[in-house]
Structure 1
Amino acid sequence: MKHASAENIPAKIESYVSRNRLRDAFQQLRSYSARLGDWRLTDEIDRLEQSYSMMLRYATQGVDDPGRSDIYASIVRGIYDMTDRISRDMTKPLSSSVYFSTLRYEAMQSDGNLPVLAERYRSLLSEMSIYNLVTGAENSPASRARTELEMLERRVFNQVWIAYPFSSDEENAVKMLFEAEEVPDYFREMLVSALMLGLTHYYDERRLLMLFDFYQLAGSSRISLIALCGALLAMFVNRNRITGIKVSQRIEVLRDVTSWHEDVKTVFLQFIRTRDTERINRKMMDELIPEMMKLRPDIAKRMRDITSMPDIVDMEENPEWQELLDRSGITDKIKELSKMQEDGGDVFMSTFSSLKGFPFFSEVANWFMPFNIEHTAVTGALGSELAAVGGIIQASPFLCDGDKFSFVFALSSVPAMQKKMMLSQFGAQNINELELRNAGLGTVSEEKNNLVNKYVQGVYRFFKLFRRKGDFNDPFSRPLNLLQLPQLVPDLTDLETLSVVSEFYFKRGYYDDAFHVFRMLADKMPPDAQLFQKMGYCMQQKGDIANALEYYEQAELLNADSLWTLRRLAACNRMLDRREQALQYYRRIEVKKPDDLNTALSIGHCLLELGQVKEALNYYYKVEFLDNKSTRAWRPVAWASFVAGEYERSRVYYEKVLGDAPSANDYLNMGHLNLVTGDIKEAINYYNLSIDNDNGDAEKFISRFKEDEHYLTDAGVAPALLPLVVDALLYSRD
């Protein structure tokens, strides 16, 4: 976290820039730079302000300058850069965050610069090629070289991560590594991730443009897409810092020479799927796992009945076990989770979150390392099983790289029998997945989706599970919505993309986001009843009933026969106390579905609220007649009879209600009935039951009682008696 003396600097400067008060921004910069006493920073501020002064002079003299907006944008970018440099330099000496601890450590090393480390890394790769060995005996040249190589990979990663602002020498060093044939692909991926991670701390246009270069020039689609993921994530995190035209111009070129348009959509859809991760975790932890734990005794009993344990791959499905799962509802939950996984949902987050405590995950760089069976952590964990197991895990299409490392470390610490079962299940699922792919069912688009999906899952895990995650700016702490980036508007606002995105949000209950995208769709397509229905539903779920009603009315204009729309119109009008209008809609529904119980009940409620008690009772009786086994009409009949003064009928129905899981309100109403019929003692007994049924909340009872006082006085109870009844009730409870 930033040190207290510097943490507010960016916010203050940004406040001035956002209000176009650059003079005040420069004054603030001078004030902060004076504390550091760095003349180089002061000189740069001077040069930047001089450029601004010249621009102001030309502008005030009436000189027409078509490039003025670009100059202004470059000055703003310079102000932001200086702000970050000053904030960073003020924070560096004292902050205990991982970022600044790493920065101070690297500054103390004799070889502590990126070009030197990059050259040493390449030299070591050449030495290792001479050994032509992956591993060797402990302390052998190959083993020592492998250990040093991994140490250098972590240090280069850290240097790329913490370097700011990125110099031309550092840029050349990274590009040299990226282009060198001997550098393995997994390390190229790590370099891309390091560039991205650095951009979550401080915006650096040079870094972002490098990610665009790697997206375009990478030799593999995997690295290319990972670079694009990093670039788009960095753009979103720094969306208020991207000024000028250089980034937009670079994107225009990429649109012409790459599959940018489709790739951006692929990445965006994976970003928005991260919104579902917490929901899936809750479903796993709150629903599936507790239900499975309940079944443990039954499963244990059946396990005891098995005299010998066959190989799990050869075990046929046990119908009795399946029946257990079906009865408990676990089967349905597993099917739902499987569907989520097919849709790209992260169903393994909760499973592997507890397996990130291994020492391997203490290093930031290791979270961004592609799974590599040659890594010493893997060879050390698997030992003699490396050849048999390593390839299976590496080929797994359903685990992200970090989870593959977790699986290896967990595997190394379990007994042999459990290990055999785990590997059998893992291998069987792997084979099924790979068979599907080899059968040609996986398109290029699906391969890209899976690749991006797994990379994004790995990045998400770092920001959510790293032991010191609080030291980092989590880009997933808010909806990662690329539609907020004006540079990407041409790529993400076509009808197909907006339709997919809006449906994703809508089906998962993210109604704010869904409405925002539906509104964009409405601007791009002819009026559509279904679209207005969904917009209305979003508004209704947000509690904005008035706006929901407007959208439902627009849907009705386009499709007046939709029962769904008519029901929503009726319900919204009733919620807005527009009972006459609600009743009209319910009458229209009744014409289409004359025997619908819900409609009959709703009409009865509207009539009762409008004071048409006798007609309301007729509809409640209709409900009872249509379904004589249902208890749904009991309460409304009891209450409507009470309001109509038909107390005996009301008593008959309230006695039915009280025999069938009564509520506090039912006891309250039965008390009212006894009060108006003169049995005050019995009324107080029922009022006591009402309070008891509501956790003893007497104040809540009094509030409800006061709301109903007009019904009691209309029925002939003397107003002066009512407070006496309440006090007598409270004394009886003492």
Structure 2
Amino acid sequence: MKPTIKDTIVVDRNVGTALRMLEKRMSELQLSDGKDMLETVKADYQLMVDCFERGIHDPKGDEVYRAMLRRTYRLYNTVRLASIVNRRGSFTQSKAIADKISKQEDSILSTLEGYVQDCAMASLYDENEQKAAIRKVNAVHQQYIERLFNFILVSGQWNDDTASFYLSMIQSPTIDQNDALIMISAITIALLTVFDANKWLALSRIYENGNPVSLRQRALVGMMLGLPGEERVLFPEVESALKRVFSNDDARRELVELQMQMYYCSHAEADSAEIQRDIMPTLIKNNNLKITPLSIEEKEDSLDDILDSGSADRNMEELETKMKKMADMQKSGSDIYFGGFSHMKRFSFFYQISNWFAPFYLDHPDVANALDKAGDGFIRNIAAHGSFCDSDLYSFVLALSAISNRLPDDVKEMMSNKSLAVMPPDVGVDTPAYIRRLYLQDLYRFFMLYQGRKDFVNPFVNADGVAGSGRFFFFGNEVMLGAIKAEYVDIERFFYKHKQYELVVGLASMRVGASNEANMEEMSLLGGSYLKLGLYSDAYDTFKALVDKGCNNASVLKGLADALFMLRRYDESAEVYTRLILENGETKNWIICQSVALVNSGRVKEGLPGLYKIDYEENGGNLVVRRAIAWGYLMDAKPEEAEKIYDKLIEGNDATEADLLNVGYTKWILHKTKDAVGYLKSYAESLAAANRNIFDDFMADKNVLELNGIKSYELKLMVDVLGVL
């Protein structure tokens, strides 16, 4: 496949070819942006070629060529951004809005500082004039900040001076902090669109310096989402900054927390579906308000409440259980409000892109107008004590103002009570973790719900739109390897707990490849993940390497035994289980595994006694043991005994697909062919969705079938009878 321009620069490191490709691309797209840069880089490169041709040796030639590669990559990003602006509607619109702003840095700074001064002056007016003056100032400023956001979004590659200007301005106490926060978000979205080392370094400095916690946490999120990919090799200063910034324990702890929070955020849709499916029906059933097209009314007492005096108590108990479950989800980090507020992002307020990232404040022009209708007592309490992200607070206010004239009088009275208390969240509202969580929710809502979302790089999904596998997984970026060490195992342990085994494999295998940095616990998590993913040979190699290094704890031995079992190396598996039991004592699960391994290895007489003992102790209630005994009977060529157990399993409600296969085997062996065909056909149909074939099972179990008199040719006949090939 023909290499891309990016690959030519980053992988092949070929300046000359990349410049020719860029010149051709710019001509094809009729782009004017970057033409001057192209001519300058071409001239400098040609000078380098001429010097080489004349035999002039430059002792700093490597350094000069690396610098040329960086400049070529900056040109590539300039061309790429220009192409995006031309082809994607949201960016075309942003460019049109950005063109209305003065691009002079002094003008930008003076306008932002002037807003703070104007607000201070407006507050000095008397009560009658003050409200109108403040509204006028905020209305003008809102238009400006929208233009500034779009200007940053479509700004090209920053030079050192531009980066220094924005860094100084964002950290300046003379501008409004909300403006600084919005600018950080604009830099973040710009970084996600096209990487820019100077923008990224500006964010790293904001986080590193002693800025207010809200600025630092928003910058941290932008840093991690905006990490470079393969181009990191051109910008060693990024890795150097990471090492410096995360050289202390507190910063690394925040980094681990952020990775976990991003995972929870990326699964907001799945959490929302669970709430809609398992919790909301109960809440709606027990809700005493009825929403009509024109108003909200109280329901009359139901017939259940009149005839069954205990129904209210049962309903309340169910309601409390569901509410507790939702509270537990929120406490663990889930975004429980996404589903509810996802339908409230169609107000014109959200047409302005900067509003998605604006911290909630009551003087925002749209909020001020809404509060004139709905009153501000309830809203102030919600804003101060509710655990809603800013985007949802804006949605709430706008939605409330839209229906305020249709609310029942008692609801209006309740909402006008300024002493109304809302339960605060468990975590302090000023903590870094809480601030990050709500900001991540703002980001997630933008990327999932903004009308032009398809124009942007969504960090919470991959290129195919699959949740939980996008750029949010920043620990999987190799640039992190030089900055973070011990914390990797914390993340791997977290992802293993949440059954994200592919992510564990990605992290741990990357660490193994990087000078074998993975420790024993990471290797164990890697082996366990291989097992869960069905990569049994890899699991065996991983656990065997641990045992060879002298790591013989129970989890490692268990992993090795399980891997051997799944590889059908039953004799070896039984030996490891025996060692596991001798060194760590007996457990029922280990005895079962050892016994099944012995049975499958053909040592039925050694394996069945352990199963009999557990079956007796549990009075036949352990279905895993019952299945193992039935399989042992087949391995011992006693199909009549196996049939008795399988028949009972099939009759119960706990029958599995494997039971269908095995009872089919048993009937087949006993020449009850009609019954066998019925069971095996049901099993074969269950395989169709997984694109598997029953003949594979026949071949895997060929030894036990042959032990019971089934010939090889009969396997093929049965497949034809089933009609599955």
Q: TM-score, normalised by structure 1?
A: 0.77
Residues 274-308 of structure 1: CA distance to partner in whole angstroms, max 9, x if unpaired? 1222435424422674244157547779986599x
1:366 aligned onto 2:355: yes
Q: Secondary structure at the match of 1:371?
A: coil
Q: Secondary structure at the match of 2:534?
A: coil
1:75 aligned onto 2:63: no
From 554, 558, 571, the equivalent of 2:562 is: 571
Please give the alpha-carbon distance, in whole angstroms, between the structure 1 residues aligned to 2:120 and 2:228. 40
From 12, 15, 18, the equivalent of 1:22 is: 15
Post-superposition offset of 1:366: 0.6
**AA of the residue aligned to 1:290:** D
| Map of 2:318 onto structure 1 | 324
Please give the alpha-carbon distance, in whole angstroms, between the structure 2 residues aligned to 1:281 and 1:550. 37
Q: Structure 1 residues 581 and 379 mapped into 2: Cα distance closer, same or farther (>3 Å)?
A: same
1:502 aligned onto 2:496: no
Residues 552-598 of structure 1: CA distance to partner in whole angstroms, max 9, x if unpaired? 34554677774433332221111112111111123334546887443
Percent of counterpart pairs with the same letter?
Answer: 18
Q: Structure 1 residues 490 and 143 mapped into 2: Cα distance closer, same or farther (>3 Å)?
A: same
Any conservation in 2 of the 1:203–1:241 contact (CA below 8 Å)?
Answer: no
1:152 aligned onto 2:144: yes
Please give the alpha-carbon distance, in whole angstroms, between the structure 1 residues aligned to 2:717 and 2:507. 58
| Map of 1:277 onto structure 2 | 265
Residues 362-392 of structure 1: CA distance to partner in whole angstroms, max 9, x if unpaired? 1111112111111121112222765523433
Q: Structure 1 residues 59 and 266 mapped into 2: Cα distance closer, same or farther (>3 Å)?
A: farther
1:626 aligned onto 2:649: no
**AA of the residue aligned to 1:468:** G
Q: Structure 1 residues 381 and 592 mapped into 2: Cα distance closer, same or farther (>3 Å)?
A: same
Please give the alpha-carbon distance, in whole angstroms, between the structure 2 residues aligned to 1:338 and 1:362. 29
Structure 1: gaps (5+ residues) = 1-7, 310-317
Please give the alpha-carbon distance, in whole angstroms, between the structure 2 residues aligned to 1:25 and 1:457. 40
Residues 100-152 of structure 1: CA distance to partner in whole angstroms, max 9, x if unpaired? 22213544x49687765665565566555443379978995554343222112
Please give the alpha-carbon distance, in whole angstroms, between the structure 1 residues aligned to 2:120 and 2:79. 44
What pairs with 1:617-696 in structure 2 (closer than 5 Å)?
A: 617-630=608-621, 632=623, 633-646=625-638, 648-661=640-653, 666=659, 682-692=672-682
Q: Secondary structure at the match of 2:234?
A: coil
Please give the alpha-carbon distance, in whole angstroms, between the structure 2 residues aligned to 1:548 and 1:426. 60
Moved more, 464-473 or 649-658: 649-658
Please give the alpha-carbon distance, in whole angstroms, between the structure 2 residues aligned to 1:244 and 1:717. 66
**AA of the residue aligned to 1:266:** E
Please give the alpha-carbon distance, in whole angstroms, between the structure 2 residues aligned to 1:600 and 1:692. 32
| Map of 1:333 onto structure 2 | 325
Structure 2: gaps (5+ residues) = 290-297, 306-311, 462-469
**AA of the residue aligned to 1:78:** R
Moved more, 634-643 or 466-475: 634-643
Q: Structure 1 residues 427 and 462 mapped into 2: Cα distance closer, same or farther (>3 Å)?
A: farther
Please give the alpha-carbon distance, in whole angstroms, between the structure 2 residues aligned to 1:322 and 1:86. 62
Residues 182-214 of structure 1: CA distance to partner in whole angstroms, max 9, x if unpaired? 532211222222233223333344444544555
**AA of the residue aligned to 1:28:** M
Please give the alpha-carbon distance, in whole angstroms, between the structure 2 residues aligned to 1:692 and 1:44. 68
Any conservation in 1 of the 2:266–2:460 contact (CA below 8 Å)?
Answer: no
| Map of 1:100 onto structure 2 | 92
Please give the alpha-carbon distance, in whole angstroms, between the structure 2 residues aligned to 1:25 and 1:519. 33
Please give the alpha-carbon distance, in whole angstroms, between the structure 2 residues aligned to 1:368 and 1:588. 59
Moved more, 527-536 or 568-577: 527-536
Q: Secondary structure at the match of 2:559?
A: helix
Q: Secondary structure at the match of 2:620?
A: coil
Residue correspondences, number: 690
**AA of the residue aligned to 1:23:** G
Residues 584-616 of structure 1: CA distance to partner in whole angstroms, max 9, x if unpaired? 123334546887443443334223322234444
Q: Secondary structure at the match of 1:585?
A: helix
| Map of 1:404 onto structure 2 | 393
| Map of 1:586 onto structure 2 | 577
What pairs with 1:242-281 in structure 2 (closer than 5 Å)?
A: 243=234, 262-263=250-251, 266-267=254-255, 269-279=257-267, 281=269
Q: Secondary structure at the match of 2:267?
A: helix
**AA of the residue aligned to 1:366:** N
| Map of 1:376 onto structure 2 | 365
Q: TM-score, normalised by structure 2?
A: 0.78
**AA of the residue aligned to 2:356:** W
Q: Secondary structure at the match of 1:372?
A: coil
Please give the alpha-carbon distance, in whole angstroms, between the structure 1 residues aligned to 2:362 and 2:651. 68
Any conservation in 1 of the 2:359–2:390 contact (CA below 8 Å)?
Answer: yes
Post-superposition offset of 1:340: 0.8
Which has the larger Rg? 1
Post-superposition offset of 1:353: 2.5
Please give the alpha-carbon distance, in whole angstroms, between the structure 1 residues aligned to 2:196 and 2:557. 54
Please give the alpha-carbon distance, in whole angstroms, between the structure 2 residues aligned to 1:9 and 1:368. 40
Moved more, 158-167 or 551-560: 551-560
Q: Secondary structure at the match of 2:361?
A: coil
Please give the alpha-carbon distance, in whole angstroms, between the structure 2 residues aligned to 1:701 and 1:425. 69
Please give the alpha-carbon distance, in whole angstroms, between the structure 1 residues aligned to 2:392 and 2:532. 37
**AA of the residue aligned to 1:269:** E
Q: Structure 1 residues 400 and 651 mapped into 2: Cα distance closer, same or farther (>3 Å)?
A: closer
Q: Structure 1 residues 582 and 419 mapped into 2: Cα distance closer, same or farther (>3 Å)?
A: farther
